Amino acid sequence: MEILVNGTPHLVAADTNVAQLLVILELQGKRLALEINQELIPRSQFDTTVLQPHDTVEIVHAIGGG
């Protein structure tokens, strides 16, 4: 199925959850915020939130600095 991630189309398997998407994108374990269709998804729900066709996913990386 097709989803948008930060404006770029991606093909993922049906029943892919957010945690699996982060593995696909090589972002697992990174500090980030993620929303699907403008709804913020808590990290505690990454394993249980299943993506749907045509979802719009936005991922923002936390960057430390001084």
Residue 64: predicted pLDDT? 74
Indicate whether 65 belongs to any domain.
Answer: no
Indicate whether 49 belongs to any domain.
Answer: yes
Q: What is the extent of the structural domain holding 52?
A: 2-13+22-56
Residue 66: predicted pLDDT? 63
Tens of each residue's pLDDT in the chain, 66 residues: 999 999 999 999 999 999 999 999 999 999 999 999 999 999 999 999 999 999 999 999 877 776
Indicate whether 62 belongs to any domain.
Answer: no
Indicate whether 36 belongs to any domain.
Answer: yes
Structural domain count of the chain:
1
pTM higher than 0.95: no
Ranges of H-type helices in the chain: 18-24
- The closest of 23, 24, 30, 22 to 61, measured between CA atoms, is 30
Indicate whether 6 belongs to any domain.
Answer: yes
Indicate whether 28 belongs to any domain.
Answer: yes
The 8-class DSSP code of residue 17 comes to B
